[in-house]
Structure 1
Amino acid sequence: MSDIPRSERPAMIRERLHQALSIESLEVEDDSHRHAGHAGARAGGGHYNLRIVSDDFAGQRRLQRHRQVYDAMGDAMRNDCIHALSIEALTPAEAQSQPPEQSE
């Protein structure tokens, strides 16, 4: 998995999530550049921010939603392809009432 070039990893993340969930909208941000020198970055793992909107999250708590995302990512989370994943998982109704988190 770590042989996937970093530039192709956001597309891999999108593909896996679309295969596992019914997605209304998805934003994937590669934040790896902000973690230069970090142990996970040196090992080749990337840092990514997700904002995912899906009806599949209805009636679920935050932890359950995150588990769905981690399950969809599979082995990419267990090797050095993805070192850190920040997840904002919302239902469509929640997304309408909550603007996207602002990056610094």
Structure 2
Amino acid sequence: MSDISRSERPAMIRERLCHALDVRHIDVRDDSHLHAGHAGAKAGGGHYHVQVISDDFTGQARLQRHRLVYDAMGDAIRDDCIHALSIEALTPAEAEPPKPTASE
């Protein structure tokens, strides 16, 4: 798994999450450059941030949502293709901007 180039990893993350979850929106950001010199960066694993909006998170606690994401990533994390993954897992309702009130 670690033979996937760093430039291909965001697409791989996106693909795995879209395959495992009913994704309404996904944004994957490579933050590896922010961790230059970090032990995990030297080993080849990248640091990524993912925002996933999915109905699958409805009724799920934060830990359960993160577990769904980690399960979807599978061997990419175990094989150190991904050293760190920051997860923002939201339902569509949580991701909607607040509606303006009559007084605004």
- TM-score, normalised on structure 1? 0.92
Q: List structure 1 runs of 4+ shifted beyond 3 angstroms.
A: none
1:16 maps to a residue whose letter is R
Secondary structure, counterpart of 2:79 in structure 1: coil
Paired with 2:19 and 2:57, the residues of 1 have a C-alpha distance of: 15
Partner of 2:45: 45
In structure 2, the partner of 1:92 is 92
How many aligned positions are there?
A: 98
| 1:30-49: CA deviation from partner (whole Å, max 9, x where unpaired) | 00001000000000000000
Point out where structure 1 has 5 or more consecutive residues left out of the alignment: 99-104
Structural mapping, 1:62-81, within 5 Å: 62-81=62-81
Kindly provide the amino acid, as one letter, of the partner of residue 15 in structure 1.
E
* C-alpha displacement of 1:97: 3.8
Name the counterpart of 2:28: 28
In 2, Cα distance between the equivalents of 1:63 and 1:88? 11
Identity of aligned residues (%): 74
Aligned: 1:60 with 2:60:
yes
Gapped regions of structure 2 (runs ≥ 5):
99-104
Alignment partner, residue 2 of structure 2: 2
CA distance in 2, matches of 1:94, 1:51: 12
Cα distance between partner residues in 2 of 1:69 and 1:37: 27
Report Cα offsets for 1:9-66 as digits up to 9, x if no partner: 0000000001000000000000000100000000000000011000000000000000
When Rg is computed on C-alpha atoms for both structures, the one with the higher figure is: 2
Letter in 1 for 2:37: G
